[in-house]
Structure 1
Amino acid sequence: MKIIIQTPDFKARQTLIDFVEEKVGKLESLSDRILEGRVNLKLDNSETGENKICEIKLVIPGHDLFASRQSDTFENAVQQSIDAVKHQLERWKDSKK
């Protein structure tokens, strides 16, 4: 699986990039049909502390999965997005049986 990480609003630390690659890479063990994982990390211009947004799109032939979560840290937003995509992936696999 190819992992593409985009951070249009800021320069990401290498530790954050490594964290995202590790967590998203684990999704590959759930399905061998995943071709690509696209992760978009953005900053929201809100006054609240929860201004970090993570969007994950898994590219699967014939069906793409998408989740977006907002949190106070990128790590939390990434983990919440992965949990949401994992749930969608499990539902998708059940519907294929």
Structure 2
Amino acid sequence: MQSGSLEGVLRSSRNAVEALGAEVPVEAVIQGPGVALLGAGSESGGAVTEAIAAGIRVLACGNSLRSAGIEAEELLPGVSVVPAAIAHLARRQWQGWAYVRL
């Protein structure tokens, strides 16, 4: 994932919050090489911070972090970690959440 791709995902997430209302939770689950863009000092830091301020939960896949050699403590403030993105997404769908892949 390139910086522009992550910023597009976060922009779409902000658009969802605006269209659906702040009471509808929105999560952006980042996995694979894209987790590197969630690290402190990332060029995408501003977009991540804005998304979090807009009420979007930005989540990093723990498996992807491990593969990339990134520790949770190295992530931007406000970014949370789920153990496995695929399992998190499956659970959310079982709970009735909609899944939109960008």
| TM-score in terms of structure 2 length | 0.30
Higher Rg of the two aligned structures: 1
Taking structure 1 as the reference length, what is the TM-score of the superposition? 0.31
- Relative to its length, the structure with more strand (as a share) is 1
